[in-house]
A and B are shown apart, each in its own frame.
Chain A
């Protein structure tokens, strides 16, 4: 799933990867792949994470991981960082999700009464990145679908999600709702349909696997 999602990243893109699963995407890009990773605190050109003993105490990404610079890295303040996001320079963001609705609404920052640490930069990333894809398990820990007809949790941004990568499938958000594009090897579409909380449009022809 993460390897498949890595193919979202095209040469030349400016990309922001959310904390958790999305951060791992970069491990699946070939060495020398030309793209620019952005972090909310104020950095572009992010190199590999470093273990504590080799870390620079002043150099972290927005998730708090100690990262390294690469030739061409830039440091700037957090206002500049979000100027880049809101003004349309961010080609792609990959985010986690609690719920994605069939119209592309995203909820990923608050579960009232249980989890309300604040949204950090998620609202601006989701609302303003040119393309928003979600990386998530297909269902939550209780087995409840994360892909739903309408979000019940507080929204991060409306109609923002273009595509969802899960452990079961690759699904696009289309004007007709969720469209199944690819399926994990060894699964059949009925299993994906059963684990999805909204109607799923199946392709006419082949269903590629990943």
Chain B
């Protein structure tokens, strides 16, 4: 009997593969599912001029905010940054470029790329300012927008459980954008709270199959950033 390849890696080594100027997808919708440890390592290694694709900009002191504070982020493709005043201020001051996308369309553009498609056709946002500059295609006589697939150089993913081959399972609403992003980048790095031997995840429990994943990093500890936000 053959076996499945082992993709476990050290965090420092995995993040060292990311180059300056990379386009980086970050999982997460708010706190759950955000790869905080990988983001910290990105900041520690000083990767700069990054284009980040993430649902939101987290809150101040969390996740994406560290990239903003360190001046490492050039452009953000996102749906909503209202919970991070620093992101709003940097946008207003022209210090970062922000491209807003309707939330489900961001998810579909990522999913499309992960599925090997060039884009999607949708009437979402037609006749609003989100349609500006987008190609219009006629489908059955109806005008719809061509939304291009979004691909990244790297996706940073947070999973609850992974096996050594990179089969993944997410916890509760920490799933959010992670499964699509795990399909849509040339290098997919996963941080997992639990890394199990092969067979530790039942085939029916797997949300992302291993072939999409390149590196699996075991989180030795869960930092405060992953905890319940005290508001």
Contacts and interface: CB of A to CB of B under 8 A. Distances in A.
A75 B175 contact: yes
B100 A118 contact: yes
B128 A56 contact: no
Interface string A11-52: 000000000000000000000000000011111000000001
A200 to B, nearest CB: 26
B204 to A, nearest CB: 15
A82 B129 contact: no
B80 A119 contact: yes
A81 B226 CA distance: 23
A64 to B, nearest CB: 5
A165 interface: no
A77 B176 contact: yes
Given A121-B102, A123-B124, A60 B31 contact: yes
A56 B130 contact: no
Contacts of A58: 32-33, 160, 171-174
B25 to A, nearest CB: 13
A2 interface: no
Contacts of A69: 172
Interface stretch (B8-16, B81-89, B194-202): B81-89
B175 A77 contact: yes
B108 A82 contact: yes
Interface string B84-125: 000010010000001010111101101100000000001111
B221 interface: no
Interface string A116-147: 11111101100110000000000000000000
Nearest to A154: B129
A195 interface: no
Interface in B181-231: 207, 226-231
Interface in B138-179: 160, 171-179
Given A78-B104, A82-B104, A118-B81, A60 B32 contact: yes
A79 B104 contact: yes
A78 B228 contact: no
A86 B171 contact: no
17 contacts: A57-B31, A60-B29, A64-B31, A77-B180, A81-B107, A82-B105, A86-B104, A86-B124, A117-B82, A118-B98, A118-B100, A121-B104, A123-B124, A124-B102, A124-B103, A127-B125, A158-B128
Interface of B: 29-33, 55-56, 78-83, 88, 91, 98, 100, 102-105, 107-108, 110-111, 122-125, 127-130, 160, 171-180, 207, 226-231
